[in-house]
Amino acid sequence: FLNIDENGSHTPGPSPDCVRFLAEERDVLGFGTECVGTDAGNAGGFEPPFPCHNIMHGNGKLGLASLTNLEQLPPTGAIVIAAPLKLKNGSGSPVRVIGLVE
C-alpha cells in the first residue's frame, strides 16, 4: 500500500510546480487521488516539503486521498460531493465522496 523500502515510501504524487500551478494559476478547490495521500511518498524531500499540505491545503484547499472508481467519471463536468465529519479542532476527516454525472 505504501510501497516502502529502505529509502522510504514510494507512492505517486504531484511535484511542487504542479501543486503551485493548480493552487495559484488555476485556483482549484482541491486535489483528489487514488493514492494513500495527496503528496508523493518521498515528498518530505521536496522543496517545499509535502507541497500539497504546505501549498494547497495551507491555502484552504481540500485534499482527498484513497479515492476509488475515478475512471467512471468524465474528464470534466462531474459534480463531486465530499461530506466530512465535523471534528472539533480537526484538520482532517474521513469522507463519503460521491460523483454525480449526467
Superfamily designation of domain 4-100:
Putative cyclase (3.50.30.50)
The Cα-based distances of 21 to 2, 4, 84, 93 in angstroms read 26, 29, 26, 26
pTM for the whole thing?
Answer: 0.80
Instruction: Determine if the peptide bond prior to 74 is cis (ω within 30°).
Output: no
pLDDT of residue 30 exceeding 70, the answer is yes
| Region 68-84 average pLDDT | 93
Residue found under cell 504531484: 14
Q: Domain ranges for the chain, please list them.
A: 4-100
Beta bridge partners of 98: 81
Q: What is the pLDDT of residues 37-72, one digit of tens each?
A: 899 888 888 888 999 988 988 888 999 999 999 999
3-state secondary structure of 96: strand
Q: CA-to-CA distance for 33 and 12, rounded, in angstroms?
A: 9
pLDDT at 2: 67
pLDDT at 77: 92
Name the DSSP letter for residue 32.
E
pLDDT at 1: 62
Percent of the chain with pLDDT over 90: 46
Q: Helix H segments across the chain?
A: 16-20, 51
